[in-house]
Structure 1
């Protein structure tokens, strides 16, 4: 059985992440910003605590990341009507516009990255990688890199 797939996944993952970071950097965003915006847009009104749970990080780390998005005008915190101690998170109008730009960048990024494959091969690759990710217990749609972000990461202006 041929070996080396794990290395190729790591090599391509690092390359893809670096290129994606460069591309969204042109929009004034960092990859963690993109993931958080997408998660909030998918579930408007979610709490910081639920976001932290989904990301597998402590709530204080999410607070710093959301602070950064709020300073950029991309996210709004609103007091919960059900529990005044909590805030609900919403993507602002500027955040929605940023996400539209991200969708364009992400589509171009995927097309560039997978240019060597035809449509059927791309679909098969996505299916196989999805199976591997599920077997490894990875949360769909959540990059495991959030667990490795420093506490200062949310304070950066990018």
Structure 2
């Protein structure tokens, strides 16, 4: 009789009567199945940064890698950390509503090219100036010529 070669033995597959088959146990210090450290061990996040025992930063400490903003921004920051302009969106919107056919609102915030276009087209016969004024008043992300967010 000829002997047939043996097949290599396969590990048990999940769902075939072995509930924990295929799951590997994490090494000590590694995250467990839900992302938490195993065995009550503390991961080395703040501990490595030299914070006191317990791993929490002292009150008022800035965590490493946190963007603290541009120290040269003269008018502060919006809630997203973007620098604020010295120009007001309310003044720009009102100027645009009343004098938009001359592009005054756009000249105020420093967009000279847009202001000239509105001046030479009479603000798109008033329609462009009206819509632009409403957008300036209602939008929260309009910027001046330097890219800074207009103040509210």
Question: TM-score under structure 2 normalisation?
Answer: 0.26
Asked which structure has the greater CA Rg, the reply is: 2
Higher RCO (C-alpha 8 Å, min separation 6): 1
More helix by share: 1
| Structure-1-length-normalised TM-score | 0.25
